[in-house]
Structure 1
Amino acid sequence: MTRIRHNDYGVLRPPAPGSWHPRLTVSVVIPAYDCQQALERTVASLAHQTYPAELVEVVVADDGSEPPIELTGARVVRVTRGWGRGAARQTGLLAATGDVVHWLDADMVLAEDHLEAHMRWHHLIDYAAVIGDTRFVESLDEEGEQTPYTRKTLESTRMLKDAASNAYLLHTGASTSVRADLLRAAGGVDARLNMAEDTELGYRLAQAGAVFIPDPLARARHVGPSTVMLREKDVHRHNWSFLGDLIPDLRWLRNHPRRNWLVPYVRVVVAATTYEQTRATVDSALAGTLTDAAVTIVGPWGKLTGERRSSLDDPLLDLRLVHNLYAHEQRVEFAESTPVSVAPAPFSVSVPTGWVLGADTLTTLVRLAEQDTLGLVSAVLSEGADGIEVARLERTAAFSRAALFHGQADELVDEMFGSIWVSGQEYGFAPAEEAEPLTGDAAKWRGVAAERATELAAARAEVARLTAEVDRLSAAPVPPAGGNGPLNSLIRHLRSAG
């Protein structure tokens, strides 16, 4: 299976429709509510697809229609838990049996090779999220056009090949398809959501390693305008009230300086050792300028039972003290083992216990990773006879995609996303016994101080460079005043500066 770097699927060569032999099954899942007539038209267009009929099933998730939907050519399942588009999509997913799940709106009319265009990509890789070319029309005699947002995004990103980590923003429920295994690995559809459930699902698919592929040959017409087209401001007002909690990548929705969010932007992973060292590391992670961070402390927490014990001589005293300290801190969770993935958080940072993060450490590490959409940043903390100690920032999407292949994870991540080594000291890491205390200045001002310290180091380096230049020029004879005016002036300037 081909390994794709970032979202550049251009290395794939899908066969032309009609020139290949399909083998994968597909479940077309359509959420529906009181739309019998439109749905009949959509299912009728599915009956004329070039993709082999024996490989296709159509599942309609009826979200409480009255009278209930009845259809020939589709299996109708009723939504019995919850209501809305998220609940309907998840109900349809649970009923689907195909290798691939193809989401479809109930008011779509498909070109005859629509399914085939989608499915040819899934035969090439098993981590594709294919996005159909949906045109909005008022009547079936129109060709229609894409939404301005879709058109602008595709034009500015080379059809999402250059979209990096934001390609999921075009994932919609109107016409997208993904392998069922990847969909379930991402957690399925959030049944609580009645709007924006497709965008939120797209984000989690990205964290699961998906590549998003818009296919202009997967043509379809959406009869009538979308809700966004009719009431864009109202839709945004509604959706932005909860998407900030669920999609950390939408940084502009997280502009509050103190709030905690359901899904953190960065999850720091620390192993529980002594009370003092664990506290030093965890507290520093919680006190940085990137407040959108949470911590997982790994330890044998199941051993902390409630039987009588010596309060001061308990063999598990340090473990118990750590648990006492953070039991009611909402940004800290306890785990028995290191998590395989921190999804849906987009980044994890693992820090050896006893090392302290600077005020700006998380901010600058993430900024570095985002510059080139790196999958791994390794910060060297110390080096000795036993090897090196390293703190690691890992991009969740990169390691999820690497897990789809056989091989060493770091090497696969480097190939598909890129990786880099940096100095831990340069990024603010320090041993706990050498770190500045957290009390006093707010994190913001500690961050400013860290920036000023970096600027001072750069200024000192520049002074050293100029001093060396002065020494070099001083060793040479000074030309006569009239012999080389500009050079003579430069030397006098450097000497006076020194």
Structure 2
Amino acid sequence: MTQQGNPERDVPEGRERPAGPRIRHNDYGPLDPPAVGTWRPSLSVSVVIAAYGHQDKLDLTLAALAAQTYPSHLTEVVVVDDGTVPALRLPEIVPGNTRLIATEPGARGRSDARNAGLAVAGGDVVHWLDADMVTFHDEVEAHMRWHHLAGYLVVMGYVRYVDHRPGSPTPAEVYAAVSAGATEKLFDEEASEPHTWIVDLAERTDGLRTAGDSAYRVHVTNAASVNTRLLRAAGPLDTGLVLGEDTELGYRLAQEGAAFVLAPEARSRHLGTSMMMRDGEQVLRYNRAFVPDHIPHMRWLRTHPRRQWLVPYVEVVVDAGDASYEDIRATVDGVLASSLNDIQVTLVGPWDTVTEDRRNPLDSPRLDLLLARGLYRAEPRVRFARSVPATAAPSPYRLRCPAGWVPGPETLRRLVERAAKDGHGLVSVALDEADDVVTARLEHTGAFARAALVRGPDESLDAAVHDVHGTHWLDGRTLGFLPAADAEPPKRGKSEDPAMAREVARLREENARLTARLAALEAEAPERPAGGGRENGAATRSPRPGGPKALLRRLR
């Protein structure tokens, strides 16, 4: 028995897998961190602070970090001056291992500054911190006790926003109060404000444990910490984004298998209000123009039925290597005609060996691949690859579909909506079982990345995916998949109402399902005796007016 696709080949070779318990979806409840002050840490941490101006606030931030309970020999602080004039300096009260660097000339913005800090960070964990934060004495330790439990975590601390007047408190006062465990006495706590939307998200999702694919939104780089290996796999912050860059990085971390933890015991105070508090509507207006291009999970902002986006929602992989041109075309055309327009098709084949005979093109070797490449060479949603990329990231889903099987107009939408609703890491679709089992596979990128991180040496990747996200089987005919010989090619027509188009597509898929069922019933029915129309004296019944054939005629 064979199965289309080979997910095992997509596991990066030699990738070290962090130890730690398996987290299903984002339910980090099985993790049991030790109480602060009762354990012995071993992981190192790099606190990365991007700073521009406000030397007075930076002085307070560093004074608080100098009073942390986390061992100094496991801590480094990297301050990145993002072009301040005159340049920032290190004050008198700083942690023992602190250095000040500057961004390259011409590099401006928080992303560039944080990336500069990330480039030189040597810790096992990177702890992002703003240059206007005063941490509690055990803030770093409260983060790090989680990271010792699993190597694929993103931890978000608890921030409150407080009023700040220059010169009060002083760095010495901050150091003394933080050292004594009395940080809250430095500020008017009753007037402080929480990070409201994070608090709301936590309340709706049991502290993110039921947040599913939306958990990435908690990654805000004023008080978050990330496993460094995971962070380097996801890549640095996107310098093309001026706002929303931390959310976008959180999304990419999720595609690398991250689990997101809210740690209210990791406390800090932000000196002054945030940009969102000061000008929230304008920040949202700005972000809605730039961020959805990068984050396919923002479905509420990707509502246009025909738009293309920088990062597609689904990558559809079709193995074209030994397939006929007709089968390739039927599958790709069916995918491109999907009501789920937010897709990209990867045609996999030995494209580097495809050449055209300039005298007699019909004698060209690999003529079927030559024709397929010619047909789609100008289609922006189709790309050609020699092999399947190791991951679909940053796209959250990958569908492996064998050439010669055609999804209906609503098939992809229904399949992905089902997977997203139920949180499945893998949905296998049975297409044919006549000789060998032929399947299509919808793979959740983050689930496969998590599975690759935690699976045992003799454990299959699919088994690990089942453990961390769940797997499911569906019937292809019910979803609307048809063999190329039975599928009608897409046709250009008048613009239809989307709801009507979906209903027509549903009826056509139901028609195909009933046709297949009728054929199966006729194949199973005993042959009628020749000649008499009667068998053992019983009259042969005529078909019922409302039977399957009549229903099929109405649907057509």
Would you say same fold, with TM above 0.5? yes
Residue 457 of structure 1, CA deviation = 9.8
Q: CA deviation at 1:70?
A: 1.5
- Measured against aligned partners, the alpha-carbon deviations of 1:160-205 in whole angstroms (never above 9, x if no partner) come to 1111110111210110001111001112211222211110001111
For the Cα contact (< 8 Å) 1:379–1:424, is it kept in 2? yes
Question: Are 1:323 and 2:348 matched, yes or no?
Answer: no
CA pair 431-70 structure 1, distance change in 2 beyond 3 A: same
Deviation (angstroms), 1:55: 0.7
Q: Deviations over 1:126-154 (max 9, x none)?
A: 00100000111114412223132122111
Distance 1:146 1:380, change over 3 A: same
Distance 1:451 1:384, change over 3 A: closer
Partner Cα distance (1:384, 1:304) in 2: 33
Q: Equivalent residue for 1:87?
A: 112
The SS at the match of 2:363 is: coil
Matching residue of 1:451: 506
What SS does the aligned partner of 2:368 have?
helix
CA offset digits 1:456-494 (Å, max 9, x no partner): 89999xxxxxxxxxxxxxxxxxxxxxxxxxxxxxxxxxx
Q: Aligned residue for 1:495? A: none
Structure 1 window deviating more from structure 2 (191-200 vs 341-350): it is 191-200
Q: Which runs of 4+ in 1 moved over 6 A?
A: 454-460
Q: Matches of 2:42 and 2:339 in 1, distance apart?
A: 52
Conserved in 2, the CA contact under 8 Å of 1:361 and 1:428? yes
Please list, as runs of the form range in 1=range in 2, the aligned pairs for 1:21-420 lying within 5 A after superposition: 21-72=40-91, 73=94, 74-80=98-104, 82-139=107-164, 140-143=186-189, 144-272=192-320, 273-304=323-354, 310-385=360-435, 387-405=436-454, 406=456, 407-420=459-472
* Aligned-pair CA distance for 1:452: 3.2
> What does the per-residue CA deviation read over 1:249-300, in whole Å, with 9 as the maximum and x for residues that have no partner?
0012111121110000111000112221111111111111001111011111
Q: Partner residue of 2:539?
A: none
Matched positions, count: 459
The alignment's TM-score, normalised by the length of structure 1, stands at 0.89
Write the deviation string for residues 311-370 of structure 1: whole angstroms up to 9, x where unpaired: 220112222221222122111111110122111111111100111011001100011111
Question: For 1:13 and 1:116, how far apart are their aligned partners in 2?
Answer: 15
The answer on whether the counterparts of 2:52 and 2:81 sit within 8 Å (CA) in structure 1 is yes
SS at match of 1:257: coil
Stretches of structure 2 that go unaligned for 5 or more consecutive residues are 1-19, 165-185, 516-556
Contact 2:334-2:489 within 8 A present in 1 as well: no
Report how far residue 447 of structure 1 moved: 3.0
Shift of 1:125: 0.1
Q: Which secondary structure state, in structure 2, belongs to the residue aligned with residue 263 of structure 1?
A: coil
Is residue 82–residue 192 contact of structure 1 (8 Å, CA) maintained in 2?
A: no
Contact in 1 for aligned 2:480/2:512 (Cα 8 Å) = no
AA at the equivalent of 2:350:
P
Q: Contact between 1:381 and 1:390, CA under 8 Å: does it hold in 2?
A: yes
Residue 421 of structure 1 corresponds to which residue in structure 2?
A: 473
State the one-letter code of the partner of 2:399.
V
Amino acid at match of 1:404: L
Partner of residue 15 from structure 1, selected from 21, 25, 34: 34
Alignment deviations for residues 404-432 of structure 1 (CA, whole Å, 9 cap, x no partner): 02321111111111111010001010001
Query: 1:305: Cα distance to partner?
Result: 5.5
CA 1:257–1:147: 2 relative to 1, 3 Å: same
Is the contact made by 2:158 and 2:263 (CA closer than 8 Å) also made in structure 1?
yes
Q: RMSD over aligned Cα, in angstroms?
A: 1.9
Separation of aligned partners in 2, 1:457 and 1:192: 47
Query: CA separation in 2, counterparts of 1:233 and 1:325?
Result: 46
**2:359 & 2:32 partners in 1: Cα distance?**
66
Does the 8 Å contact 2:357/2:363 carry over to 1? no
Q: Distance in 2 between matches of 1:77 and 1:330?
A: 42
CA distance in 1, matches of 2:72, 2:239: 30
How far is 1:82 from its partner?
2.6
Output the amino acid matched with 1:24: L
**Structure 2 CA distance for aligned equivalents of residues 424 and 39 of structure 1:** 59
Distance 1:155 1:450, change over 3 A: same
Per the alignment, residue 432 of structure 1 pairs with 484
Determine the C-alpha separation between the residues in 1 that align with 2:160 and 2:343.
Answer: 40
Normalization by structure 2: what TM-score? 0.80
Greater CA drift, 138-147 or 324-333: 138-147
Q: Deviations over 1:373-419 (max 9, x none)?
A: 1111111000133x200001111110010010232111111111111
Letter in 1 for 2:49: I
Structure-2 separation of matches of 1:447 and 1:323: 31
Taking structure 1 as reference, are residues 100 and 25 closer, same or farther at Cα in structure 2, changes over 3 Å only? same
- Seen in structure 2, the aligned counterparts of structure 1 residues 205 and 157 have a Cα distance that, compared at 3 Å, is same
Per-residue deviation, 1:450: 2.7
Aligned-residue offset at 1:45: 0.7
Aligned AA (2:129): L
- More deviation, 294-303/346-355: 294-303
Shift in CA distance, 457/142, structure 1 to aligned 2, threshold 3 Å = farther
Aligned-residue offset at 1:446:
4.9
Aligned-pair identity in percent equals: 49
Q: Distance in 1 between matches of 2:43 and 2:378?
A: 49
Aligned partners of 2:512 and 2:357: how far apart in 1?
55
TM superposition shift of 1:51? 0.4
Q: Distance in 1 between matches of 2:379 and 2:188?
A: 57
SS at match of 1:9: coil
What's the CA shift for 1:309?
6.5
Q: Displacement of 1:455 after TM fit? A: 7.1
What CA distance in whole angstroms lies between the structure 2 residues aligned with 1:331 and 1:456?
30
Query: Structure 1 residues 455 and 65, CA, compared in 2 at 3 Å: closer, same or farther?
Result: same
Contact map agreement 1:110 1:221 (CA 8 A) in 2: yes
* Structure 1 unmatched runs, 5+: 461-498
CA distance in 1 between counterparts of 2:76 and 2:52 reads 20
Residue 308 of structure 1: how far off its partner (Å)? 5.6
